[in-house]
Amino acid sequence: MKNIILKSFALALPLSLGLAFIGVAQRNRTTSSAKMAPTLLSALPPSDAVAIINVSRVFSEVLPKLLAENPTKLADINNELAKFKTQTGLDPRSFDQVALGLSYKYPREGITKISTIALARGSFNAGAMVAAGRLAANGQYNEEKYQSKTIYVFTIDRQMRLFGLWDMKVRDLAAVALDGNTLALGNLDAVRGVIDANRTRKHANPELLALASGDPNAIIGFGGNISPLLLENLSLSNDSIARELTAVRQVYGTLGMTSTDLELMVAARTVDTYSAKNLGDTVEGLKQLGGLFINRLAAAKGTLARSAMNNLKITTLGNELQIRTTVAQSQVAPLMRGY
């Protein structure tokens, strides 16, 4: 089933570090970088979906912990990070946070195209980092003056591990320094859009920003609007599920980690309480059917899926359906070996 929300964030996360979906939510403290989340999100242009990721903790806590028993893979990631810095001049380890804005376009029936803008903020000089990118590009870039800003469009046109983590084909990457320690990255139109948004103060929907930053301690939080047109472009083989999803208007969630577990929360806001209850009943039914397929999974995947299923909690609150589950970090670590 081609779930557009999962697809959207799957396309966005490469811009914000492929493994950022493995989050950390340390509920006993609120970090200074977590408090910055609404500020960075509020710099995004109007978007259909937004996400905020605490990148620094992904590198400093999550990857070392989950790859503790696989030092070879951890060393490989560190090498790829160094290579990415050499190729682009961008040092992912200097990023504290990345905010994502996703916009959907529908060029023709059944087709949804996603435009993504990424804002990176951290302990770096944005102008110096762009200059380093120019040197790394070895002349393969263009400059464009736009609204008193200079946009650099780097011609990469090759397969690379974006941010050292995610294999993808990168053709052109536009970058601009929004302020002293904030970079905007994306295609040229998206970068122009974020410059316009900050000049006119026309930003992303405040309600989406609130949904994405509801847990100030989460490593990743997201929120998105679901329009009828977006749902029409889905190819859903199950008519019953398709009908239930037409009542969904927004989704949001967080991903986090305690000292021992990984935690996931996903919520769907529907048009009314009746729709939320029906959607909850459908999810409960899928939960029961899911047990039939777990035994077909390989050992490590089966253990993880069984734990997630056993800990799954489905709650309906008014017109909102919330799904929560928890799995042990020790159950996730074996799957990292094949990453």
More confident residue, 189 or 12: 189
DSSP string across 83-110: HHHHHHS--GGGEEEEEEEEEEE-SSTT
**Spatial separation of the C-alpha atoms in residues 101 and 117, rounded to whole Å:** 5
DSSP string across 280-305: HHHHHHHHHHHHHHHTTS-HHHHHHH
The answer to whether residue 49 scores a pLDDT higher than 90 is yes
Asked if residue 89 lies in contact with residue 154, where contact means CB atoms within 8 angstroms, the answer is no
- pLDDT tens digits, 303-320: 888 888 899 999 999 999
- Backbone φ and ψ of 58, nearest 5°: -60, -45
Q: Where are the alpha helices (DSSP H) in 13-121?
A: 32-35, 37-41, 55-57, 63-66, 71-88
What pLDDT sits at residue 28?
Answer: 34
Q: Where are the alpha helices (DSSP H) in 188-237?
A: 188-200, 206-212, 228-232
The answer to whether residue 19 scores a pLDDT higher than 50 is no
Chain mean pLDDT for the chain: 78
**H or E element in which residue 113 lies:** strand 113-122
pLDDT, mean of residues 141-167: 74
Q: If you ran DSSP here, which 8-state letter would residue 259 be given?
A: S
pLDDT, mean of residues 243-260: 89
The answer to whether residue 166 scores a pLDDT higher than 90 is no
More confident residue, 240 or 193: 193
DSSP reduced 3-state for 71: helix
Note the maximum CA span of the chain: 60
What pLDDT sits at residue 139?
Answer: 67
The dihedral built from the CA positions of residue 276, 212, 233 and 227, taken in this order, carries a sign that is positive
Q: If you ran DSSP here, which 8-state letter would residue 338 be given?
A: G
What are residue 8's DSSP bridge partners? none
Task: Report residue 48's pLDDT band, with 50, 70 and 90 as the boundaries.
Answer: very high
pLDDT, mean of residues 49-55: 92
What are residue 98's DSSP bridge partners? 53, 120
User: Of all residues in the chain, what percent carry a pLDDT higher than 70?
Assistant: 80
Helix axes 71-88, 126-137, angle to 10 degrees: 90
Task: Report residue 74's pLDDT band, with 50, 70 and 90 as the boundaries.
Answer: confident
- pLDDT tens digits, 89-133: 777 888 899 999 999 988 887 788 888 899 999 887 787 777 777
Q: If you ran DSSP here, which 8-state letter would residue 49 be given?
A: E
- pLDDT tens digits, 58-71: 888 888 888 887 88
What pLDDT sits at residue 157?
Answer: 59
Structure tokens at 80: 């790829």
What are residue 257's DSSP bridge partners? 262
pLDDT, mean of residues 18-24: 31
